[in-house]
Homo-oligomer: A and B are copies of this chain.
Amino acid sequence: MIGKRRTQTRKKIFAAFNHFQKPISVLELYSFLHKQVDLTSIYRNLELMKKTGGIIEIDFGDGKKRYELPKNHHHHLICESCGAVKDLKINDESIFNKTKDQGFLIKKHRLEFFGLCKNCQ
């Protein structure tokens, strides 16, 4: 069965997530690990962790995937100037109500805000 071995690589990757407070890209992870873990292995392990729920995939729409450890459901405020990311909790109920009479069965949703943080305004 795939994904069950506690390898050195997996320990390193998991540990790395605790050093970031924001969603991280594959390359950020790669750099953080001093390129001692091959990019391919990072990709494969992140994919695996994603499937098993160990991490959440986030998409900022800039062409690269990002990942973070599962926390309470939240969204993000992203600064388009400096890249700062701030978590934002929103009660989604008000949003979801509108989707109910559309015949769709909603599985997930994505909501992100882009703008300028305090420092960059």
Contacts and interface: CB of A to CB of B under 8 A. Distances in A.
Contacts of A106: 77, 113-115
Interface residues of A, number: 32
A20 to B, nearest CB: 20
Nearest to A107: B115
B109 A111 contact: yes
A112 B112 CA distance: 10
Interface stretch (A35-43, A44-52, A90-98): A90-98
B88 A107 contact: no
A59 to B, nearest CB: 4
A104 B117 contact: yes
Interface of A: 59, 61, 63, 77, 79-80, 86, 88-90, 94-95, 98-99, 102-118, 121
